[in-house]
Structure 1
Amino acid sequence: MSERLRLMHVHAHPDDESSKGAASTARYVAEGVDVHVVTCTGGERGSILNPSFAHPGIEDNPELIADIRREEMDRAREILGVTQDWLGWVDSGWPEGDPKPPLPEGCFALVPLEEAAAPLVRLIRSFRPHVLTTYDENGGYPHPDHIKCHEISVFAYEAAADPQRYPDLGEPWQVSKLYYHGGWTKARLEAIGAAMIERGLDNPYAGWLDERDPSRFRDDRVTTRVECAEYFAVRDAALIAHATQIDPNGFWFAVPRDVQARAWPTEDYELVDSKVPTTQPEDDLFAGLR
């Protein structure tokens, strides 16, 4: 294909673009692919998860979190080398408790599907991606915004190509391939844990592996492994840019990058639909397109 390839990632909150697929994003940017991130919500109801985070005024005005998270997204976007749009929906939150309280009125998760997907259809038709990625039907984890992100992404993938739907939102565009992020498979956790033990280091994932619901592992659904260890440092820098969410001395950085690179040098995806011929397993989101 002679035209420049285009990749669109659809994420629920600012920071998701850096915690899911960021190293493969950086690889594709380096290869000259146009990568566009769509962020469904502003992360307005996100908690401050980094114990070392400090910002003047945040204690007196908690609503500053929305502005701060936009600033963080600006930095992460520059580090990754992507373009980005906000869909403008309001974070649904992830409250404590079981059962959880009702979702707040007006939040993203409660917006009717056709309404919630409309701005994404517009963006697909304007950016015209060849590949679109999002979360699986469980949202990667069952945050209501992640599940809604999945729903609107799958809906918009089909709707954007149909000239009878949303006729006022631009010329139809058929995305060639749809992927779900592969996430943390059991094999990946085990491989990194074994590499840590071999190095004489504690395995930070041991408890997580034991406690994780086995139904959340997706090993049998991975179709595509993208080599991207060279870009793990870019991924980490983008993550750290989200200072409200990421502790630079925390869990996510407990495994040295060289251990990660040796044990599991890929980011993994599930091919859900392809309009072009391709053979599995794949090593490239653009397999069949170049």
Structure 2
Amino acid sequence: MRRLLAVHAHPDDESSKGAATLARYAAEGADVTVVSCTGGESGSVLNERFELGHRAARDMTGVRRLEMAAAQAALGIGHAWLGYVDSGMPDEGEPLRALSFATIPLEISGRPLVRLIRRLMPQVVVTYDQTGGYPHPDHIRCHEVTMWAVEHAAAGLPELGEPWEVQKLYFDRSMSGARLHALLTALEATSPDDDRLPFMREWAERLGTRGDTMTTRIDVGAHLDARDVALRAHASQVDPESRFFFWPNELLRQVWPTDDYELVRSRVQGEPQEDDLFAGVEED
């Protein structure tokens, strides 16, 4: 049985980063689980078209739990809450929310993830790199917690269950300069008057060579629609006219039909470039 665990900071992150990969492996029969480290309760409504703003004002936690359940169903995956409070994104010089995820010592906040890894026994874990993908304190902490938990799940802490060694650990690299430049070139060729092009050129320049350390490209062309359904399920956060949907899926399938990753830790033999997160993995 193949088992994949993806560790994310907030509900909606799993749908904007590698969701089609999750849908593909789940459809192929793998046991796929997403962990949301926080409940996203410190977030604001980011979608001006969101119809339940009055409800979010009263109960953002409840709204985001319902959205996560809908996204989970769209992807066909399992889900677990790590149980921490969203730290928010305070202005420079402002403190983080008291007792939130990023404020809790790593040796405490990592323990529930150790227990979960030992219970689920994933061969493969996916998370963010040390930058968090962007500098939200919960994304950075998510990276730190995942690295700590993968290490400590393999040995010690007997009160948290039987040891389990993850065979492969990946960082998400789907937002890469190479991908954006390829899509931009295709859009310029097919739609030279598209009013999105100036923004996309600026975005491509800003990304530069970001993500050029990718080692693994997963063909997800058949699962992009499931990703879109999952993204739209997070209606408080995702505007259906936002940049998440800039690229028609048909264009993605022709130009860049993959989710991309960097293999950063492996206990198995493999090739320098892969097309499968489970390449070389010993299944049980």
* Partner SS state of residue 205, structure 1: helix
Query: Is residue 19 of structure 1 aligned with residue 16 of structure 2?
Result: yes
TM-score normalised to the size of structure 2? 0.94
Query: Is residue 138 of structure 1 aligned with residue 131 of structure 2?
Result: yes
Query: Is residue 186 of structure 1 aligned with residue 181 of structure 2?
Result: no
CA contact (8 A) 2:176 2:207 kept: no
CA contact (8 A) 1:44 1:63 kept: no
TM-score normalised to the size of structure 1? 0.92
Change (3 A) 1:100 1:232: farther
Q: Give 1:199's aligned residue.
A: 190
Q: Give 1:49's aligned residue.
A: 46
Counterparts of 1:104-123 in structure 2, within 5 Å, are 104-123=97-116
1:223 pairs, out of 203, 208, 215, with 215
**Aligned AA (1:120):** L
Q: Distance in 2 between matches of 1:153 and 1:214?
A: 27
Q: Give 2:232's aligned residue.
A: 240
**Aligned AA (2:75):** L
Q: Distance in 1 between matches of 2:187 and 2:63?
A: 35
Q: Distance in 2 between matches of 1:130 and 1:122?
A: 15
* Partner SS state of residue 268, structure 1: strand
* Partner SS state of residue 218, structure 2: strand
Query: Is residue 262 of structure 1 aligned with residue 259 of structure 2?
Result: no
**Aligned AA (1:26):** A
**1:213 CA displacement:** 5.7
Query: What are the ranges of 5 or more consecutive residues in structure 1 without an aligned counterpart?
Result: none
**Aligned AA (1:70):** R
Q: Give 1:209's aligned residue.
A: 204
- Deviation track 1:216-275 (CA, whole Å, cap 9, x = no partner) reads x121x1010111111111101100000001011222212211111111111000101111
Q: Runs (4+) of structure 1 moved beyond 6 Å?
A: none
**Aligned AA (1:82):** I
**Aligned AA (1:79):** A
- Deviation track 1:91-140 (CA, whole Å, cap 9, x = no partner) reads 01113x4x241112101001000100000000000000000000000001
CA contact (8 A) 2:45 2:53 kept: no
* Partner SS state of residue 226, structure 1: strand
Q: Distance in 2 between matches of 1:271 and 1:68?
A: 34
Query: What are the ranges of 5 or more consecutive residues in structure 2 without an aligned counterpart?
Result: none
**Aligned AA (1:283):** D
Change (3 A) 1:100 1:235: farther
Counterparts of 1:160-179 in structure 2, within 5 Å, are 160-162=153-155, 164=156, 166-179=157-170
**Aligned AA (1:265):** P
Q: Give 2:272's aligned residue.
A: 280
CA contact (8 A) 2:177 2:207 kept: no
Q: Distance in 1 between matches of 2:137 and 2:110?
A: 15
* Partner SS state of residue 168, structure 1: helix
CA RMSD of aligned residues (A): 1.4
